[in-house]
Amino acid sequence: MLTSPQDSLDPKELEELIISIQKGNIERYAFIVRAFQTPIYRYCYRLLENKQDAEDAVQDILVKGYQSIHQYKPQMHFSAWLYRIAYHHCLNLLRRRRLQKRVMSIFKPDFMSASPEQELDDRLFNPSLSAALAQLSLEERNMLILRVFEEKTYAEISEILGVSPNALTKRMNRIKRKVQEAMKLEEEIRWNEPQSAMNTKI
């Protein structure tokens, strides 16, 4: 009986588990939840940048996976299939979030700004990588997260996003250059800050 985490599930074990679930052994879906809830949570958190949203999202995604498991075909990696569900779920959440911000901006006075405490938090907890990622489009950020943080292969990312391997390679190279340039700029700004402070008369 399977009791191991995801990295101990070889592809054959995983496929046998899924077939068993598709045949009606629904209680075995608990092994899918146990195996994927942590990596899917990490993925959602990096996309949504909000702990509570990510916790809610991973539950919804795993429920959707269960509801759709009879549609899964072994021609696709199960991990890629589940990450595709996660990507589209997070994409919808981000679209709703942008719409909500747009609506709320109508009612928010222009003179309102972040508190000094919030500005301090932003400076302390947003390193150069976060600044670089913020300059990427959602699609670019998603590709980078899948490749760098989730350590997905190009073949898996192609399956998740429906992008050809050749096109994916070209996009990843552009994203890499974009992040490197952004991080270099951010580091230069941070490097110059102490010098500016030294030149300020008290």
If you compute the radius of gyration of the chain from its CA atoms, what whole number of angstroms results? 21
Task: Evaluate if residue 89 carries a pLDDT over 90.
Answer: yes
Task: Evaluate if residue 115 carries a pLDDT over 70.
Answer: no
First to last CA, the chain: 70
Percentage of the chain with pLDDT > 70?
70
What CATH class has 115-195? Answer: mainly alpha
CA 135 to chain centroid, in Å, comes to: 15
- Which of the four CATH numbers 3.90.1010.10, 3.40.50.300, 3.10.20.30, 1.10.1740.10 does domain 1-107 have? 1.10.1740.10
Domain boundaries, the chain: 1-107, 115-195
Q: What is the mean pLDDT of the chain?
A: 77
Report which of residues 107 and 23 the model is more confident about: 23
Listed range (6-20, 48-62, 78-92, 137-151) with the worst mean pLDDT = 6-20
Sign of the dihedral defined by the CA atoms of residues 134, 130, 40, 162, in that order: positive
Most confident of 5-9, 132-136, 152-156, 178-182: 152-156
Q: What is the mean pLDDT of residues 62-86?
A: 93
pLDDT of residue 117: 43
Q: What is the mean pLDDT of residues 105-130?
A: 48
Residues in the chain: 202
Q: How confident is the model at residue 129 (pLDDT cuts 50, 70, 90)?
A: low
Q: Determine the Cα–Cα distance for residues 188 and 69; give it in Å rounded to an integer.
A: 49
Q: Determine the Cα–Cα distance for residues 151 and 157; give it in Å rounded to an integer.
A: 10
